[in-house]
Structures are given as C-alpha cells and as structure tokens.
Amino acid sequence: MSPTFADDCLPPENIYSSRQAVFEAINAWARTRGYAFTTGKSTTEKSGRCTVTFACDRGRRPPNNQADRQRRTTSRVTSCPFSVLAKESSDGSWALKYRPDARFSIHNHEPSQHPVAHPIHRQLSQGTSQLATFSNAGLAPKEIQTLVRQSGSLATRQDIYNRIADVRRDACEGQSPIQALANQLDKEGFWSRIQFAQDGRVIAVLFAYPDSLAYLYVYPELLLLDCIYKTNKYGMPLLNMIGVDVA
C-alpha cells in the first residue's frame, strides 16, 4: 500500500437504488485504497427527502489526553475531513455527490496497510444470524473464524467474540443470563433446579430432559452423568444428570 492516497481516492459520483447500495459501493471502492466510510450525520430536507454524509472512519475527534480517564487507550481517529454526500431523490434513488469544499476530498492521514484495520471491512457478510447458528452448534470462535474467512470475511478473533456476546445478550431479552436460562428450560419442559448462595450468586444448576425423568422412575438405582463440558447460548456451563433423586 502506498504511503499516500491515490488520485482516484474519491469514489465516482453515481446514482444508486438505495442508501445501503451507496454505502456498500463506496466502501468497496475505499477498501482497496486504504480507508473506509462510516455513516456521519443525516438531515431531512423540507421536501422530506434525506441527505446523508458518509465520512472517513477516522474522522471523529480524538479523545482529550488531558482528561482524567480510568484507562489510557490509543485511538485511530484523526478528525479526518474526508467525506461525501448521498442525496435521496424523488423517485427513491440516491445520488452520490462530492462536497463543494476541496478540503473534504483530502485525508489527513496515511492509507491503511490492509483492510483488516477497518471494522467496516471486517463485518460478516451474513450478519450475526450466521454466528448464532455456528455458536449454538457448539463451534469455538477459532473454528467460526476459519469458516467465515472461507467466505471472504476479514473478521478477527476478537470480532467473533464480540459478535457472539451480542448474540447472547439479544437471546437474554433484557434478562440476566441465569434468568434467561431458567425461563428457557421451563419453556421447553425440562425439570431443573438452581441453587443460590446467600449473596444471590448462582452456585449450581441442575436440569434433566423429560425422557430422563421417565428413565429415573423406571431405574431409580442408577445414576448416569454426561460430563461433556458445554456452554449454552447464554454462556453458562451445563452438566446433564440422569437418574437423580428428584423428590
């Protein structure tokens, strides 16, 4: 990658069928040229049509180093002014336009050496639904990364971890993980018991499949333990027991 941006750094002005089509097209252009676009501000005109500013992903203002912060972190942002406009037309199409001031066509930083430096270019093509399927199937993040890389994604291992955490939070629907687990077990007809410490922490979770209870009543003298360590979609390790006294 060149230490300076190419002369064709600006994506060509064009007409697109939708706002999403604009975003995808300009990022495909930016990907091979060392930068990425994010959605900046959007305004609604008196006509009701929308104008969106797509800006360089390093365009935000850097954090104040003088501020009293809990953690010292680095930042990629440089207040880069590079940006373009997308305007909605009366027929529903979107027109990509350059901004009048020339300063908006110049970056104030060097191009990235690889697209993986930009979160936009590391997004999964099929979103979090694909990750949910892989995670629920018991695949480890390393294995998931291998699969998504085969489809052309640049997602890093940390991206996978973050997306799985998002999927788990969504699955909880605002509940704590243990509440979500208890409700799911009850919903699916499982027998379950949850033990709490005096301070409210969960210290044990026990569940049994409905068929397992039937086996228990037939063979009450047997105790079978499935000791394969797995985590459910809420991130909790589970141990299934068959033949436990449920009285």
Checking phi first, is residue 186 left (phi over 0); if not, alpha (psi -120 to 50) or beta? alpha
Residue 28 lies in a domain: yes
Output the tens digit of pLDDT for each of the chain's 247 residues: 457 898 999 999 999 999 999 999 999 999 999 999 999 889 998 888 999 999 999 988 776 655 555 655 567 789 999 999 999 999 999 999 999 999 999 999 999 988 888 888 887 765 555 666 776 667 777 777 777 777 777 777 787 778 777 767 766 666 677 777 777 777 878 888 888 788 877 778 778 878 877 887 888 777 666 655 555 554 555 544 444 444 4
Residue 118 lies in a domain: no
Domain that holds residue 167: 123-172
Claim to verify: residue 167 and residue 97 sit in the same structural domain = no
Q: Which residues of 6-38 are buried (b: 16+ CB within 10 A; e: fewer)?
A: eeebbbeeeebeebebbbebbbebbbebbbbbb
Residue 94 lies in a domain: yes
Claim to verify: residue 76 and residue 101 sit in the same structural domain = yes
Residue 131 lies in a domain: yes
**What does the angle CA 172 – CA 176 – CA 178 come to, to the nearest 5 degrees?**
95
Residue 57 has a CB neighbour count (10 Å cut-off) of 23
DSSP string, 123-141: --TTHHHHHHHHHHTT--H
Q: Which secondary structure element, helix H or strand E, spans residue 184, and what is its range?
A: helix 177-187
| DSSP code for 58 | T
